[in-house]
Amino acid sequence: MVGMRDVAKTAGVSLSTVSLVVNNTGYVSDDMRAKVEAAMRRLNYIPNELARNRTNTIGVIMPTIAHPFFATLTAHLQREFAARDLKTLLCSIADADKGEGEYVDMLQRHMMDGIVMASHTEHPGGYWTSIHRPIVAFDRTLGEGVPAVRSDHEQGGRLIARQLIDSGARHVVLVGGPRSQFAEATTFPTIRYHLTVERMLADAGIACDYVEAGIVADICAHEATARAIFERYSDVDAIVGSDLVASVALQEALRRGISVPRDLQIIAYDGTFMAETAGMRLTAVRQDFPAVAAALASRMDSQIAANNGTTSAAAAEGGNAVAANGGQSTSEDIISVTLIPGETTR
């Protein structure tokens, strides 16, 4: 079936220009409009009624934007959508004290075109697939037929473990979310880096303890946990946690007169701006925020096109795209991560 991307390619214009002509919104020069209309006639393109009623607004559901990771991801995602002439409607669940239900209702009433779901949800997979509207998951599995994007956390775990093993670490403390999430490795892909580090350190005979720091939105709990490590584990010589945890741990170590990295190595996981502003440049596993945002936006393009029955070019650009929550197998984009050496490892 012919879609707007086919029209854009034939006319030699951008997708946004075709959208403006089809939806009769915004300014388009007479020359550009003539090119688009000629291409539509040549391809026998008939605009879908749903496409005519597009809001060009994407809902983005985050657990909180107080956390450096989600603040950084939100900025990149908003920038990526803006480049595609799409507006971003942000729902920060913890900060607004609202759940995702209001946004799902808006999506079902066609008040937005799609949702990027990046927050924890207690709804079963069947709930999300029953919505039959464009939804893309970030760093979680929402169910059959809902495409997902995540970083390669197994790779991140291998990079961390290899750094610690090669540098002679003896007692490593990992800091993360509730351990109960470990039973849901497919639902919470992020924990895979913890599991990978634990496995590799165990194989190398290196002691490793896991400390729970509460849910991601509880910033104070993460800070308190980072400080408490030194009281709980007097022989700790390596700490691994989010940028926030790593930054607080570094500051606490320096306050206590502990030499970093001679006596204590610290590795951050995420690679946000905090890794550069903690007092020393943190060694960090950096998630590729631009690539993650681009993959989420591309998946959303494909979901919207599929929902409108115009899957041809859009689906091709979106990789292994599936119909919008139509019950097909879930597809997943996995984005590579990088270990950025800093001043906090040997």
Predicted pLDDT of residue 293 = 98
189 half-sphere exposure, CB direction, 13 A CA radius: 21
**3-state class of 338 per DSSP?**
strand
Is the bond leading into 261 cis (omega within 30 degrees of zero)? Answer: yes
H-type alpha helices, the chain: 4-11, 15-23, 30-43, 49-52, 68-83, 93-96, 101-108, 125-129, 153-166, 191-203, 219-232, 243-255, 289-307, 312-317
Q: What is the DSSP string of 249-289?
A: HHHHHHHTT--TTTT-EEEEEE--GGGGSSSS--EEEEE-H
Q: Are 143 and 130 in contact (CB under 8 A)?
A: no
Looking at residue 213, the DSSP 8-state letter turns out to be -
- Identify the helix (H) or strand (E) that includes residue 149: strand 148-151
Predicted pLDDT of residue 281 = 97
Predicted pLDDT of residue 182 = 65
pLDDT tens per residue across all 346 residues of the chain:
677 888 999 999 988 888 888 877 678 899 999 999 999 989 988 776 555 567 899 999 999 999 999 999 999 999 999 998 899 999 888 766 666 788 888 888 778 999 999 988 777 778 888 888 999 999 988 888 899 999 999 999 999 999 999 999 999 999 998 887 666 544 677 889 999 999 999 999 999 999 998 777 788 888 999 999 999 999 999 999 999 999 999 999 999 999 999 999 999 999 999 999 999 999 999 999 999 999 999 999 999 888 776 443 333 344 433 344 443 445 899 999 999 999 999 9
